[in-house]
Amino acid sequence: MSKFSSTAMVLAAGLGKRLGDITKNTPKPLVSIGNTCCLDISIHALKKAGFKRIIINTHYLAEQIEEYVRRYSDIEIILSYEPVLLETAGGVRNVLSEFEGKPFVVVNADMYWVDSNPSVIQQLIKAMQETDDFCLAVTPLQNAQGHSGKGDFVIENGLLRRPVDTDPTENRYVYIGAQIINPRVIQPLSIEPQSLQGLYFQACAKKTLKGVIFDGTWIDVGSVSGLEIARKYIKD
């Protein structure tokens, strides 16, 4: 991983509003799914991929996440508290200096997933080229349990593009929340609330948005129904 940063990031600052009362007193990354939670799952995936240093951004009920991560003694965890929620791009820009100017891995803490073998993070690292702005892990729309959208991308020759109305369901993919980012696309940004989504679309147009297909279990737990699917899955 010498050409990639040895530091990874977990995005854990969101409000989790769609979960209603479930996140009234608990941040979404710590909502229980059996004997685990989304934050645990993402941290363990990064550990499996070989990372020993992880940055976690926080905002909503940040003190609970700060307390929770103290259980990890075998990795270095750095917390990036955001008094004002910076969203995905702003949160990444806020800690960009931590990645040594190298492409870096970012994983969300708002999904339930059972990693593939080899790790999807290792697959991203293998696929990412210097000419790519991003490399995203995507799963087929029909594999995206708990997800109500119509698909984020179509993949062609390893590159992602935005779907059009004529693209059939079986050709559509959903971004699962694991990616590699080239720092050159983040550096020009100001540190303010802004999303990565617009940058993905710009990369689509430039043909610099790489995609890796994830074929493991993935459940969108951003809604109550999705959380129930994940809890039933782990119980069964």
Identify whether 183 is preceded by a cis peptide bond (ω within 30 of 0): no
In a domain, 2, yes or no: no
| Res 92: pLDDT | 98
Residue 155 lies in a domain: yes
Check residue 117 and give its pLDDT.
84
Q: For 145-169, what is the mean pLDDT? A: 96
The reply to whether 227 falls in a domain is yes
Q: How far apart are the first and last CA of the chain?
A: 37
Give residue 193's pLDDT: 98
Residues facing 138 on adjacent strands: 175, 213
Q: Give residue 2's pLDDT.
A: 63
Place of tokens 């694991």: 178
Establish if 123 belongs to a structural domain: yes
CB 113 within 8 A of CB 143: no
Split into its structural domains, the chain has a count of: 1
- Residue 195's pLDDT is 97
**Please, what is the average pLDDT of the chain?**
96
Q: If pLDDT is split at 50, 70 and 90, which confidence band does 118 have?
A: confident
Instruction: Indicate the SS3 state at residue 84.
Output: coil
Share of the chain above pLDDT 90, in %: 97
pLDDT at 108 over 60: yes
Partners of 107 in the β-ladder: 10, 178
The alpha carbons of the chain give a radius of gyration, in whole angstroms, of: 17
Q: Is residue 1 a part of any domain in this protein?
A: no
Per-residue pLDDT at 1 exceeds 70: no
What's the mean pLDDT in 127-136? 97
Q: Residue 38's domain is classified under what CATH number?
A: 3.90.550.10
- 158-173 pLDDT, tens digit per residue, is 999 999 999 999 999 9
How far out from the chain centre does Cα 191 lie?
20
Would 95 be classed as within a structural domain? Answer: yes
The phi, psi pair for 200, rounded to 5°, reads -60, -45
Q: Which of 39, 34, 36, 46 is nearest to 16 (CA)?
A: 39
pLDDT for residue 185 is more than 90: yes
Averaged pLDDT, 63-74: 97
pLDDT at position 51 over 90: yes
pTM, two decimals, is 0.96
* Residue in the structure block whose two tokens are 């129904």: 225
Q: Read off the pLDDT of each residue in 123-134 and give the average, rounded to a whole number.
A: 97
pLDDT confidence of residue 116: 83
DSSP string, 71-83: G--SSEEEEEE-S
Domain holding 68, by residue range, is 7-235
